[in-house]
Chains A and B, each alone.
Chain A
Amino acid sequence: DAGITQSPRYKITETGRQVTLMCHQTWSHSYMFWYRQDLGHGLRLIYYSAAADITDKGEVPDGYVVSRSKTENFPLTLESATRSQTSVYFCASRDPGMWEQFFGPGTRLTVL
């Protein structure tokens, strides 16, 4: 499918487990972003990547790890999930020559 996809779309896990959320885009955009959305906070940037093998922290990086070995993929890993990480996670991408940032469909994560 063309565009930006996320998997899984829904995930329930337990405290302490490792979880990886996947993000895949078909446009070869160099910039990719991970946000979390919580009531009362809007969206907050977790990590971003300017290109393959280049990543950096956003506003709320603690408890998360990212990697980007290929331009099209940007996985987000919760190494030891906590209840406070229950949220909706959105991946986004952007071409450096364009201003618009495109968002994926989101992953709803529940940590019990």
Chain B
Amino acid sequence: ELKVEQNPLFLSMQEGKNYTIYCNYSTTSDRLYWYRQDPGKSLESLFVLLSNGAVKQEGRLMASLDTKARLSTLHITAAVHDLSATYFCAVVYGGATNKLIFGTGTLLAVQP
């Protein structure tokens, strides 16, 4: 059974600081997604990581994937208040269907 664990579940950080969110998964998968969700809103796609060693960056966020370690990281550089949201990783299973197993999410609160 594929399980996805994120940590931390809650992260309070100050503006300007750096931090990393971790996403571990239990069985083989070579594709992983990161989503952002604002309160009361839908999910916004941030990154799709398609292979081992993939690294993608957008603004202050950088995501990487290590399929051998079954680990993805979402690194936040010099956090700003606008990054406050819940972040989810989701691991692909089910072949071509591209079904997703989601982590429980990390609630990020960036304090001024």
A interface residue numbers (CB < 8 A to B): 31, 33, 35, 40-45, 48, 50, 58-59, 90, 94, 96, 99-106
Q: How many residues of B contact A (CB 8 A)?
A: 21
- Residues in B with CB closer than 8 Å to A42 are 4, 88, 102-105
CB distance from B27 to the nearest CB of A (A): 14
Could you show 18 A-B contacts with beta carbons less than 8 Å apart? A31-B98, A33-B99, A40-B104, A41-B104, A42-B88, A43-B88, A43-B90, A43-B100, A58-B99, A59-B101, A99-B48, A99-B98, A101-B33, A101-B98, A102-B45, A103-B42, A103-B43, A106-B42
Tell me if B50 and A99 are in contact (CB < 8 A).
Answer: yes
The binding surface of chain A is classed by DSSP as strand
CA–CA, A68 to B9, complex, Å?
A: 36
Inside 8 A of A90's CB, which chain B residues have their CB? 42-43
User: Which among B41, B97, B104, B105 has the greatest number of chain A C-beta atoms within 10 A?
Assistant: B97
Given contacts A90-B43, A104-B42, contact A45 B99 (CB under 8 A): yes
